[in-house]
Structure 1
C-alpha cells in the first residue's frame, strides 16, 4: 500500500475486527465502503455502526458526526467511533459516543435488564453476576 496513513487505518480496522471476532461476535467483518451511504468500517458490533480511526491528531466531533450518519445508513440505532490509542494494543483503544447516544444506549440496557429481572429473575441474576467485573 503506497499511502502509509491508509495502511495504518487498514491495520487498525483489521486488528479491531479480529478482537471483536474473538471477544464479541465471530461474524464481525470489515464493511465494504459505500461512499456517501457508508455504513461504518466494521459490521457486527452489536447495535452499532463503528467508525474506526487511527490518526495522530484526534478530532472526536468529526468522528462522532460520521459514526452517527453511518448508523442511520446501516439501520443501526447507535454510532460509535473506535479510536486507536497511540503506542497501545487493541484492547486499550477508545470507543466514543456523544452523550445523547450514550444515554439512549444506557436507557435501552436499563429497560432490557428490568424486563429480564421482572420476568426471569434467576436468568437475570446469573447474567448480572457474569458481567459484574470491575474495570
Structure 2
C-alpha cells in the first residue's frame, strides 16, 4: 500500500504481481499499477493476476501489456538460445520437461 507499493504477492518469479478479484475488470488500470509496483519492487516485469467473477482462481488470467510481454519473451528466447548453444542435451531435456507442443 502507499506510494511505494511493491505488489500484492512475493515469489511470482521476476514479477511484481497485482492480485485482483473485482466484479468489474479494468485491465488498463491493473497493468499500470503492476508496472509501477514492479519499479518499486526492483522487478523487471509487472503483471495483474485477475480472478474471473464466479470462477475459481485457476480459471483466472495473468495479464501484462504487450511491451512487457515482448521483453519477457525476448529474455526467454535469449536464455534458451544460450542454453542450447552451451548445453544442447540440457536444452533438449528442458524442452521436453516443459511440454513443447502442448
Deviations 1:54-102 (A, max 9, x none): 0000000000000000000000000000000112222111000000000
Matches within 5 A, 1:1-135: 33=1, 35-132=2-99, 134=102
* Superposed structure 1 runs of 4+ greater than 2 Å apart: none
Give the aligned CA root-mean-square deviation in angstroms: 0.9
Q: Secondary structure at the match of 1:82?
A: strand
How much has 1:119 moved relative to structure 2?
Answer: 0.2
Q: Secondary structure at the match of 1:42?
A: coil
How many residues align? The count is 101
Structure 1 unaligned residues grouped into runs of 5+ = 1-32
Greater share of residues in helix: 1
TM-score by structure 1 length? 0.73
TM-score by structure 2 length? 0.96
Tell me: higher relative CO, structure 1 or 2? Use CA pairs within 8 A at least 6 residues apart.
2
Structure 2 unaligned residues grouped into runs of 5+ = none
